[in-house]
Amino acid sequence: MFQKHYRTMSKQKIIGQYLRDYQDFWDNFFQIPKDNYNNQISGCWNVKEFLSHMAGWDQETIMAIKEVMKGKIPWFFDHQDEVDAFNIEQIDKGKNIKLPDIITEIDTNHQELINFLQKLPENLFHKEFGKVWHEQEVTPALVCSYRHFATHKEDIVLSLKKMRHNIHKFESRRPPLIRLKIDAMSDVAINSYIH
């Protein structure tokens, strides 16, 4: 999800948005029950695959900004097939890595991106380097306007809603309580197992 007003946003505002998106992503992620980690979270990906695909994108963002400053358009702007291949490559890499280590990698890469942006001079952040993409000047700010963590936070939110809906459906299929009159003085509620 690209931010619409990136041209008028300062570097610090975009960095602040990155940090909020990152926090929101993890706040939602850690609501996923561990027993659902093998379920699909986004498309056909389970939790480990989902996080594995994310692990390399902050590094790609750093490289893309460097490419933009050389007057090039980042490889992933118009090549969905290459994006898909990169995601599959990241998922394959993650197969032999423990989930906590994948989370650490994401965190390390994100911090490196934030540090890189902090050091990038403000005058270069919105500088045009002579390339146009979909009628927009390609700038480091344009690269940073894609909100990867916000996009995938929405996947998590949808997954959490489905999980809650499935729990609700399960709860609604439970047999109703029936009351049995034991004697004139008391009622006992029991679960009905009549199908």
Q: Would you state the structure tokens that stand for residue 53, as one six-digit string?
A: 């695909």
Distance in angstroms (rounded) separating the CA atoms of residues 149 and 25: 6
Please tell me the pTM assigned to this model: 0.77
Q: Would you state the structure tokens that stand for residue 34, as one six-digit string?
A: 């561990």
Burial of 185 (0-12, 13-18, 19+ CB in 10 A): exposed
pLDDT tens per residue, range 130-189: 878 777 778 888 888 878 898 889 989 988 888 877 654 444 444 444 444 444 444 433
Distance in angstroms (rounded) separating the CA atoms of residues 156 and 139: 30
Domains, the chain, ordered by start:
6-191 (1.20.120.450)
Distance in angstroms (rounded) separating the CA atoms of residues 131 and 139: 8
Share of the chain above pLDDT 70, in %: 81
